[in-house]
Structure 1
Amino acid sequence: MRRTPARRPTIKDIALRAGVSESAVSFALNGRPGVSETTRDRVRRVAEELGWQPSAAARALSGEGSGTVGLVLARPAKTLGVESFFLQLVSGIQEVLSRRKLGLLFQVVEDIDAECAVYRRWWAEHRVDGMLVVDPRGSDPRLALLDELGLPAVVVGTLPEPHTEYPGISNLWADDALAMASIVDHLHGLGHRRIAHIAGLPDLTHTRRRINSLRAEADRRGLRDVDSVTTDYSETQGAEATRRVLAWDPRPTAIVYDNDVLAVAGLGVAAERGIAVPADLAIVAWDDSVLTRSTHPALTALVRDTAVYGGHAAEQLIALLDGGPAVRVQDELPHLQARGSTAARAAP
């Protein structure tokens, strides 16, 4: 037998139980003048008893907000299935938003133009009250667009220098340059002098900072056999890039990968080539995850609580929605966790 779906309580239901007019209920629930405090309290108590909630559409039409924030990710969808960073980031964001009964509207698109189109559509449809923005670019049209639309936003990641400050846009970032320096310090201390870097998407600000930091650290130590290769973060391109750098002459003795998926793919290529890790090749992953901890050997990786990082971004956005000023906050620097994939380099 087909069940009749439960009916949502309405303003009419509240008015009947409270013994007032529907207009009085509307005034009371929307905080408008025209009813006594006694009536207002009675209406709100009845609404709570009935489990009434205002519809998002009605709130948007009345200018009260949607109760939702947005996150659009302009990356190839195929790279997201096994990458843990964004799953952890979103879980931290959602945990903080849920405390304020805010929803998260999430969409994956192919490129930055499509992302901007989503911003315009969500703004026009009153779908979101603010945005979380990831993967800053060197020339990034999203910030000016969000400022134009008047959408509060938090950019997660390093902004390019110089950049325009906008009154409604905050920034949460960690220092990728210092993180890369810590990796080079570790590898150099183990005796590695030929270092390859399998990087992510080339137009991202953090990719450029990592590449530039690697080059600066290499120059400071007089290392000549150091270079970076960019990828789309996928396992396929990670494996292809690893095969390419392992064909260099001289061959690198260490490879740094910009995420856990790339690093695990690289470890597989080393195994297929009969290259022992860490005896013949050291491997470092930028992001720690269950993947990096489950391989043999386990992979040395940069460790941070990504869910907490996401929570901090959500807290910044809530502060903007509450009328606070835009801020720029440097988050905790990831620390390097040495594991079995790096070891002292035997003398050549």
Structure 2
Amino acid sequence: MAVTISDVAQAAGVSKGAVSYALNGQPGVSPDTRERILSVAKDLGWKPSLRAKGLSSAKAYALGLVVARDPSLLGTDPFFPAFIAGIETALAEHDYTLVLSVATAPGAEERCYRKLVENGRVDGVILTDVRHDDSRIPLLLELKVPAVTVNRPDAGSPFPAVSVDESAGIIAAVEHLVALGHRRIAHVGGGQEYIHGRNRREAWEKALGAAGLPADLFAAADFTAAGGVAATAGLLRQADRPTAIVYANDLMATAGQSYAQSLGLSVPGDLSITGYDNAEFTQYLNPPLTTLATDPMLWGRVAAQVLLNQLTGAGRGEDTVLPAPRLVVRASTGPAPTDPGPARH
């Protein structure tokens, strides 16, 4: 059974009030008594109760994460489990917990934030999937809750951001394909309401522009496998179809590669494909996927630590930029075909 302050009081021969003063570093006991109580507590293996500590300090000792995506994506897209694991790694070192909410119904996201904050369930929140002109920034300011954003919002935000230079990775992927002789390079991007979806598209456009190539083969999707298939199908129906496709994540790239192969296309003989994230399974595909290596676990850990620094007063919460994605070349990319062939239906 857990050791209580009553056990410590009895063993030290003092009142529970004296134990509380000593353990919480408050005045009310002499230095000798405080030292004796702390020694007894250590010998008994006493550990603070977060519930009791929270009640006494009006803190929840928890951080909130609200995800407004299809719940199935949490299990199918490797980014989210790794990102959440990174958060948990940081929180475990500080005896904090993570409160995760999935909000997909209209208005559910705002209700989740209000409920978490107004009911005192969290001390701060991690804001992911930052959007263009994100309405959650003024909401969190209204709720007066500390926060950290995963990517810097394009509208004004007083919260520290933890970002990755996504542009560098996409540019590296396009330059790799251009060097292989590709001139019809498409992009299957995520939702353009997201900052990261928009950043990746703009980087693709910039890289093609630098190579003197048109950026006219874009298809928006939703980061899911089904979305990747639908976007790939649309691109391959083009009369002047692409010979290479740069995808905004590995899940869409994997689904797109499988779909192209089901049409009889050779990867990379007829179509080169690149992904984004370097999920572990991508090295075992046939062919293995050329992709951009990121570290979502590091992203989650740093985001949580930046927020904890605000809550504990250990730092002001400055912006942090993580290392840019690294291009990992595998067998899904190869020289451009001399004859791309007709559109595929």
Same fold? TM cut 0.5: yes
Instruction: Name 2:174's counterpart in structure 1.
Output: 184
**1:130-154 CA distances to partner (integer Å, 9 max, x unpaired)?**
2222111112122223233332222
Q: Is the 8 A contact 1:198 1:255 kept in 2?
A: yes
| 2:33 is aligned with 1:39 | yes
Distance 1:136 1:225 in 2: 25
What aligned pairs does 1:4-23 form with structure 2 within 5 A after superposition? 6=1, 8-23=2-17
TM-score, normalization by structure 2: 0.91
Q: Is the 8 A contact 1:18 1:46 kept in 2?
A: yes
**1:44-77 CA distances to partner (integer Å, 9 max, x unpaired)?**
3333444444443433332352222222211111
Give secondary structure in 2 for the equivalent of 1:318. Answer: helix
TM-score, normalization by structure 1: 0.90
Instruction: Return 5+ residue gaps in structure 2 as ranges.
Output: 340-345
1:202 to partner: Cα distance: 2.6
User: Of 193, 198, 205, which residue of structure 2 is paired with 1:215?
Assistant: 205
Q: Is the 8 A contact 1:171 1:329 kept in 2?
A: yes
**1:290-328 CA distances to partner (integer Å, 9 max, x unpaired)?**
221110110000012332232222222222222221311
User: Of 139, 149, 152, which residue of structure 1 is paired with 2:143?
Assistant: 149
Judge which range, 29-38 or 60-69, deviates more: 60-69
RMSD of aligned Cα (Å): 2.0
In the alignment of these two chains, the number of paired residues is: 338
Instruction: Name 2:247's counterpart in structure 1.
Output: 257
Q: Is the 8 A contact 1:74 1:112 kept in 2?
A: no
Give secondary structure in 2 for the equivalent of 1:77. Answer: coil
Distance 2:95 2:56 in 1: 19
Q: Is the 8 A contact 1:199 1:258 kept in 2?
A: yes
User: Of 313, 316, 319, which residue of structure 2 is paired with 1:325?
Assistant: 316
Judge which range, 320-329 or 336-345, deviates more: 320-329
Instruction: Return 5+ residue gaps in structure 1 as ranges.
Output: 1-5
Cα 1:55/1:261, change in 2 over 3 Å: same
Instruction: Name 1:334's counterpart in structure 2.
Output: 325
Instruction: Name 1:98's counterpart in structure 2.
Output: 92
Distance 1:138 1:271 in 2: 35
Instruction: Name 1:204's counterpart in structure 2.
Output: 194
1:237 to partner: Cα distance: 1.8
Give secondary structure in 2 for the equivalent of 1:226. Answer: coil
Distance 2:326 2:300 in 1: 17
Instruction: Name 1:3's counterpart in structure 2.
Output: none
1:345 to partner: Cα distance: 1.2
Q: Is the 8 A contact 1:198 1:258 kept in 2?
A: yes
Give secondary structure in 2 for the equivalent of 1:283. Answer: strand
Distance 2:105 2:145 in 1: 20
AA in 1 matched with 2:156: T
